[in-house]
């Protein structure tokens, strides 16, 4: 396949590849391996970070932990890799996940084709040539027939625009871009944000800091994560049964490994309901609590309220100060990404931890020495931590000057909210594939990433076998997929949850569906059907522009 290098009259070097992959997290690493080692393409990877890992490179904050159980927070594509990976805790911390991904990169010799510390700044589709013209932030130019973006769906950090932010003279960090050498011991620390990340960092640092002030905008429902050592016999049993475990996970809805309930919450007695919630609380895991207890917590308001009330009662039991307990108690629907923690609510019983409810008492400004709230109090701080999340899903896309046919930019394409066909392609952007693009599955992500990488690889193979210059989703297919995702989401309570899942966390961002919520099993069936129907919803074009093959329109 093609690879050439030419020096132009400018300083830039132009290099032509079959494919460019952007991002070196779970998605980009596996994609590069598939395209290079299985399809035999010439591939160049670009990654802004100095190393591999993606999420697990950037999120080095204390307490960073996957809340998918260890045995399913990994790749399944290589049985030997699965057997060789040694782990011993139910959940896996950031340093372990990072070393796992570094091991993967070394094992398959992936780093030699990645260029690190290099951001992709622009990618334009050249219609005449049927190639992507790519520019990096080092001023390099290259071209590729295929562009695969594995930019991460929780990767573009969200730093809120709070008055005075730049005046703060202490240390300031965002959890999603955490440096390696931070010491918080003995310092006065403030944390803004109480999402999944906030809960983790707050719980982890409370014992070591002098004073911790938590600025909470919305109280959260959270259950224990239940981390701890896993007995060797259990690990051995998992490794023996791995094929069946992965097959089940890939057929399931959220792919977290537990048995998903189909029992309606209100079909059992109050006593039985409480016992089911208690068992899930004891076992640990936010997704287990939402999807393993009853089948309708995320869809039926009455069931949802029962699950929420159980957590509220736990907060009342755990938190000693009634005023703090009141502030920590969520009142609304239980419909954000389900959270779990390692003792979050109990952390507020510590004498060095205080809670400021910034809905009742908003942040007025940030000063050189701390945070001033509406009541006029200045909370003096040495360190201010933003655990304020991400511009999720499309955040990294709209930062790139990404242009498809007719020079249309992705920002124009998605001005009313990001859309896709199958979570991986968008019409007018030929030969471009997104890993975890908008309206992909809402699950434990590595199995969804693997599903998409394998599907993309097959799709590229199909286009190559047909001698196509390009393959592209039709507008009809994309509209139909968007409508399907919206219909499914409308049957859930998530739209009421005001979170990144619908883009509701970023001021001014259109509030739209960003996930396919019918689960991984259903998603895989859809993908299989598309392939069986000769890539239904895609159009192949050939260089002469004659003999365009139009696949059967999406149904
Ligand atoms: P990422 O790992 O986000 O990698 C994307 C990479 O693309 C980044 O390294 C970024 O630097 C790079 N990039 C972006 N734009 C450019 C550009 N223009 N040029 C060059 N490089 C670029 N998922 C779960 O399933 N279970 C969990 O328990 C879980 N816990 C999480 C905890 C935290 C704190 C966070 C932030 C996320 C968590 N996730 C979890 C989601 C997690 O992001 C995914 O599981 C997975 O790691 C995503 O992999 P990825 O390769 O798609 O993207
Ligand atoms: P989240 O879940 O988006 O949480 C962000 C938190 O920051 C949340 O408590 C927000 O409050 C708060 N926030 C956001 N903007 C502001 C402003 N302007 N002022 C005060 N507080 C603010 O991000 P996470 O990093 O915790 O988790 C994201 C995902 O990554 C998570 O689901 C896992 O999948 C991993 P709000 O609730 O919006 O009122």
pLDDT, tens digit, 9 for 90 and up, residues 244-270: 999 999 999 999 999 999 999 999 999
pLDDT confidence of residue 533: 97
pLDDT of residue 3: 47
- Among the bound ligands, the one closest to the CA of 45: 1
Of ligand 2's atoms, which has the minimum distance to the CA of residue 162? Answer: 18
Choose which residue among 195, 286, 364, 497 to substitute to test ligand 2 binding: the one with the highest number of ligand atoms within 8 A of its C-beta: 195
- Rounded to two decimals, the pTM is 0.96
Q: Which residues line ligand 2 (CB under 6 A)?
A: 154, 160, 192-198, 217-218, 337, 358, 387-390, 500, 505
**Domains in the chain: how many in total?**
2
- Say if 20 falls within a structural domain: yes
pLDDT score at 546: 38
Residues 419, 507: one domain? yes
Point out the domain boundary residue: 386, 411, 445.
386
Per-residue pLDDT of 264-296, as tens digits, reads: 999 999 999 999 999 999 999 999 999 999 999
Domain assignment present for 67 = yes
**Cβ-defined contacts of 137-141 (< 8 Å, 24+):** 139/11, 139/12, 140/12, 140/13, 140/15, 141/8, 141/12, 141/13, 141/14, 141/15
Q: 1 in a domain, yes or no?
A: no
Residue nearest to atom 27 of ligand 2 (CA): 196
The domain boundary, picked from 341, 362, 386, lies at 386
Within 10 angstroms of residue 96's Cβ, the number of other Cβ atoms is 20
367 CA from centroid of ligand 1 (Å)? 32
Q: Which of 151, 341, 433 to mutate to test the pocket of ligand 1 (most atoms within 8 A of CB)?
A: 151
Instruction: Calculate how far, in angstroms, residue 272's C-alpha sits from the geometric centre of ligand 1.
Output: 39
The answer to whether residue 345 is domain-embedded is: yes
Instruction: Report the distance separating Cα 380 and Cα 370, nearest Å.
Output: 4
Protein residues with CB under 6 Å of any ligand 1 atom: 22-28, 46-49, 54-55, 57, 59, 64, 66-68, 73, 119-120, 150-152, 154-155, 176, 197, 396, 400, 435-436, 444-445, 449
Co-location of 308 and 231 in the same domain: yes
Whether residue 48 is found in the same domain as residue 175: no
215, 271: one domain: yes
Query: Strands 339-341 and 363-366, how do they pair?
Result: unpaired
Question: What confidence score (pLDDT) does residue 8 get?
Answer: 34
229 with 337, same domain?
yes
Mutate to test the pocket of ligand 2, among 220, 389, 499 (most ligand atoms within 8 A of CB): 389
pLDDT for res 510: 86
Task: Show the tokens assigned to 287.
Answer: 């997704």
Q: Which of 367, 386, 405 is the last residue of a domain?
A: 386
555 in a domain, yes or no? no
Task: Give residue 497's pLDDT.
Answer: 84
Note down the domain range covering 447.
8-156+392-468+475-532
Specify the pLDDT at position 478: 98
For ligand 1, atom 7, name the residue with the nearest CA.
Answer: 23
| Interacting residues of 9 by C-beta distance below 8 A, sequence separation 6+ | none
Q: How far is the CA of 544 from the centre of ligand 2 (A)?
A: 50
- The contacts of residue 84 (CB under 8 Å, 6+ apart) are none
Q: Are 533 and 477 in contact (CB under 8 A)?
A: no
pLDDT in tens, the chain (555 residues): 444 444 333 344 559 999 999 999 999 999 999 999 999 999 999 999 999 999 999 999 999 999 999 999 999 999 999 999 999 999 999 999 999 999 999 999 999 999 999 999 999 999 999 999 999 999 999 999 999 999 999 999 999 999 999 999 999 999 999 999 999 999 999 999 999 999 999 999 999 999 999 999 999 999 999 999 999 999 999 999 999 999 999 999 999 999 999 999 999 999 999 999 999 999 999 999 999 999 999 999 999 999 999 999 999 999 999 999 999 999 999 999 999 999 999 999 999 999 999 999 999 999 999 999 999 999 999 999 999 999 999 999 999 999 999 999 999 999 999 999 999 999 999 999 999 999 999 999 999 999 999 999 999 999 999 999 999 999 999 999 999 999 999 999 998 988 999 998 998 898 899 999 999 999 999 999 999 999 999 999 998 653 444 433 332
Ligand nearest to the CA of 503: 2
Please tell me the number of the ligand nearest to residue 192's CA.
2
Q: Are residues 230 and 378 in the same domain?
A: yes
Distance 193 CA to ligand 2 centre (A): 5
Task: Report which bound ligand comes closest to the CA of 56.
Answer: 1
**Residue of 65, 197, 202 with the most ligand 2 atoms within 8 Å of its CB, for mutation:** 197
Q: Which of 119, 154, 158, 196 for a ligand 1 pocket mutation test, highest count of atoms within 8 Å of Cβ? A: 154
| Same-domain pairing of 124 and 225 | no
Report phi then psi at 371, rounded to 5.
-120, 130
**288 and 236 in a common domain:** yes
Cβ atoms of 483 and 542 within 8 Å: the answer is: no
CA–CA separation, 163 and 480 (whole Å): 43
Using the mean position of ligand 1's atoms as its centre, give its distance from the Cα of residue 548 in Å.
Answer: 37
**Are residues 329 and 419 part of one domain?**
no
Q: What pLDDT does residue 12 have?
A: 47
The CA-CA-CA angle for residues 472, 474, 475, to 5°, reads 130
Using the mean position of ligand 1's atoms as its centre, give its distance from the Cα of residue 35 in Å: 20
| Å from CA of 113 to ligand 2 middle | 35
Q: Which of 281, 273, 236, 241 is nearest to 257 (CA)?
A: 241
Transcribe 336-397 into DSSP letters: SSPEEESSHHHHTTSTTEEEEETTTS-EEEE-SSEEEETTS-EEE-SEEEE---B-TTTTTT
Q: Are residues 281 and 186 in the same domain?
A: yes
Domain presence at residue 249: yes
Cα–ligand 2 centroid distance for 546 (angstroms) = 50
pLDDT on residue 14 = 58
Task: Assess whether 345 and 400 both reside in one domain.
Answer: no
* In-domain check, residue 537: no
Residues whose CB is less than 8 angstroms from the CB of residue 474 and which lie 6 or more positions away in sequence, other chains included: 421, 427, 537, 538, 539, 550, 551, 553, 554
Residue with CA nearest ligand 1 atom 19: 119
**307 and 187 within one domain:** yes
Measuring from atom 2 of ligand 2, which residue has the nearest CA? 195
Closest to 299 measured CA to CA, from 489, 472, 138, 478: 489
The pair of structure tokens assigned to 256 is 């977290």
**What CATH number corresponds to the domain at position 115?**
3.50.50.60
Cβ proximity of 26 and 449 under 8 Å = yes
Q: In whole angstroms, what is the distance from residue 417 CA to residue 502 CA?
A: 10
Beta bridge partners, 213, equal 190, 354
């Amino acid at each position: 396949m093609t690879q050439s290098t030419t020096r132009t009259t400018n300083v830039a070097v132009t290099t032509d590849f079959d494919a460019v992959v952007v991002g070196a997290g779970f998605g980009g690493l596996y994609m590069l391996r598939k395209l290079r080692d299985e399809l035999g393409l010439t591939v160049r990877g670009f990654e802004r970070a100095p190393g591999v890992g993606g999420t697990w490179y950037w999120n080095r904050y204390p307490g960073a932990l996957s809340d998918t159980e260890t045995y399913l927070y990994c790749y399944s594509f290589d049985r030997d890799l699965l057997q060789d990976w040694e782990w011993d805790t139910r959940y896996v911390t950031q340093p372990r996940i990072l070393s796992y991904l570094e091991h993967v990169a070394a094992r398959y010799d992936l780093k030699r084709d990645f260029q690190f510390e290099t951001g992709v700044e622009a990618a334009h589709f050249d219609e005449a040539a049927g190639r992507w013209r790519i520019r990096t932030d080092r001023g390099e130019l290259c071209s590729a027939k295929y562009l695969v973006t594995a930019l991460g769906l929780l990767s573009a950090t969200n730093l809120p625009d709070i008055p005075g932010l730049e005046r703060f003279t202490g240390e300031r960090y965002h959890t999603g871009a955490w440096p390696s050498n931070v010491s918080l011991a003995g310092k006065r620390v403030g944390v803004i944000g109480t999402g999944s990340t906030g809960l983790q960092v707050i719980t982890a640092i409370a014992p070591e800091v002098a004073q911790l002030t938590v600025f909470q905008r919305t109280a959260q429902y959270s259950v224990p994560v239940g981390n701890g050592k896993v007995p060797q016999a259990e690990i051995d049993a998992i490794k023996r049964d791995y094929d069946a475990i992965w097959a089940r996970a890939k057929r399931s809805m959220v792919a977290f490994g537990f048995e998903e309930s189909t029992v309606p919450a209100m079909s059992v007695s109050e006593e039985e309901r409480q016992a089911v919630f208690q068992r899930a609380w004891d076992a640990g895991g936010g997704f287990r609590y939402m999807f393993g207890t009853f089948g309708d917590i995320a869809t039926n308001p009455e069931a949802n309220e029962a699950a929420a009330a159980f957590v509220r009662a736990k907060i009342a039991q755990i938190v000693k100060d009634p005023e703090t307990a009141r502030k920590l108690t969520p009142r609304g629907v239980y419909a954000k990404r389900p959270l779990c923690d390692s003792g979050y609510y109990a952390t507020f019983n510590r004498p060095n931890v205080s809670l400021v409810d910034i809905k009742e008492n908003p942040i007025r400004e940030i000063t050189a020495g701390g945070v001033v709230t509406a009541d006029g109090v200045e909370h003096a701080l040495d360190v201010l931590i933003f655990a304020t999340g991400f511009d999720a899903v499309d955040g990294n896309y709209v930062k790139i000057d990404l242009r498809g046919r007719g020079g249309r930019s992705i920002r124009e394409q998605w001005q009313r909210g990001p859309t896709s066909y199958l979570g991986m392609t968008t019409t007018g952007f030929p030969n471009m594939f997104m890993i975890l693009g908008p309206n992909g599955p809402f699950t434990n992500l590595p199995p969804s990433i693997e599903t998409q990488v394998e599907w993309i690889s097959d799709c590229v193979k199909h286009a190559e076998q047909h001698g196509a210059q390009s393959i592209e989703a039709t507008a009809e297919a994309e509209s139909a997929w968007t409508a399907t995702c919206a219909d499914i989401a409308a049957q859930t309570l998530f739209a009421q949850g005001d979170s990144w899942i619908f883009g509701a966390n970023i001021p001014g961002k259109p509030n739209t569906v960003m996930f396919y919520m019918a689960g991984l099993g259903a998603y895989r069936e859809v993908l299989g059907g598309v392939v069986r129907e000769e890539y239904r919803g895609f159009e192949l074009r050939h260089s002469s522009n004659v003999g365009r093959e139009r696949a059967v329109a999406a149904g």
